[in-house]
A and B are shown apart, each in its own frame.
Chain A
Amino acid sequence: MTELGKAVLTRRGCIRGAREILPLCTFVFVLAATFGVAARQAGLNVSVATLMSAAVFAGGAQFAALALLGPPPSMLPILLGTLAINARHLLLGAALAPWLLQLPRWQRLFAVTVLSDANWAQAMRAHAAGERDAGVLVGAGFTMWITWVIGTAAGAQASMAVPDVARFGLDALMIGFFAATLTGGWRGGADLPAAIGAALVTLAMMALGAHDWSILIGAMGGAASGAWSDAHTR
């Protein structure tokens, strides 16, 4: 490990990140294959489905876009939907900023190309444990990206029978990962207001039907409660 405090981006870090994200990639692969099958059903050919996964690399937005592809494609709703579903990336990037902004410009612009929920959570956890190599974010992100692309191609090519994810509990891998990351980094009372605020606002947004915005607004509600509590204690 490099000296504490100095941000770097190395190949060794990438390899560490790639290795650690592997268990989650089973779920990424199955989800990607499901997308591939759905894309074929929406009339996309194999190369377009695969290219979409390679270029966009954001599952929720890709599934949502399939419903709006027409013909002709409804461009504005597709782009607004993409923005709504992916706007939470803004928060992920903001949380990583103190770390990534220490990197040279091209490195940080490159590092965020594969920013996603799971590798973000893994990188935040590693950073809290003293990691300063942004390679963990990049390596994990590219591993997920490659899995996502290959899984899409496999699903679209074979229109293969996707295994019964639910039966084997594979659909619980991701939520288990987020719950474990939250718990692992838990600082007790200091984190409580942010967690309660985020939970309540997320549920409220979902109850109001603003599903696509619920994580973004919920997380902002959490940050606001945390800040409010800081200002009103002591």
Chain B
Amino acid sequence: MRTLVELWPVLAGMSIVTYLTRVGGMGIIGLVQTTPRLARNLQHLATGVLTALVMAGVRDGDAAIGAAAIAAIVVTRISGQLLAAISAAAITAAIVRALVP
């Protein structure tokens, strides 16, 4: 069995690299002056991250995941309720998988 004595450098290295990615983006923006243009571009960045997360998930997933993403979008448009939207996503995925073996 692999123990901490052997693997602590891996754990330490991974946690340091990960923390640097977590703190780094804020640090980089902190070095430059915030202008209205930068603020707009950061807004586009947020849209880009969310779109990329959804697209990567859909591309990796099966038809049920694609249907779930669409269900979440539709329910959000109709109700504006986040909890309703993610519940609809899970229920849709379960139904699609039950129907399509």
Contacts of B39 in A (CB 8 A): 98
- What CA separation (Å) do A121 and B59 show in the bound complex? 20
Please report whether the interface of chain A is mostly helix, strand, loop or mixed according to DSSP.
helix
List A84-105 residues whose CB lies under 8 Å from chain B. Answer: 86-98, 100-101
Please report whether the interface of chain B is mostly helix, strand, loop or mixed according to DSSP.
helix
Contacts of B22 in A (CB 8 A): 86, 89, 92-93, 112-113, 115
List A70-120 residues whose CB lies under 8 Å from chain B. Answer: 71, 73, 75, 78-79, 82-83, 86-98, 100-101, 108-109, 112-113, 115, 117, 120
Contacts of A172 in B (CB 8 A): 61, 64-65, 68-69, 89-90, 92-93
- What CA separation (Å) do A41 and B37 show in the bound complex? 50
List B1-34 residues whose CB lies under 8 Å from chain A. Answer: 1-4, 6-7, 9-15, 17-19, 21-30, 34
Q: How many residues of B contact A (CB 8 A)?
A: 77
Interchain CB contact under 8 A, A180 and B42: no
Q: Which residue of B lies closest to A101 (CB)?
A: B30
- What CA separation (Å) do A47 and B5 show in the bound complex? 11
B contacts, CB < 8 Å to A: 1-4, 6-7, 9-15, 17-19, 21-30, 34, 37, 39-59, 61, 64-65, 68-73, 75-77, 80, 82-83, 85-95, 97-98
A contacts, CB < 8 Å to B: 20, 23-24, 42-45, 47-48, 51-52, 55-58, 61-62, 65, 69, 71, 73, 75, 78-79, 82-83, 86-98, 100-101, 108-109, 112-113, 115, 117, 120-121, 124-125, 166-185, 191, 193-195, 197-199, 201-203, 206, 214-215, 218-223, 225-227, 230
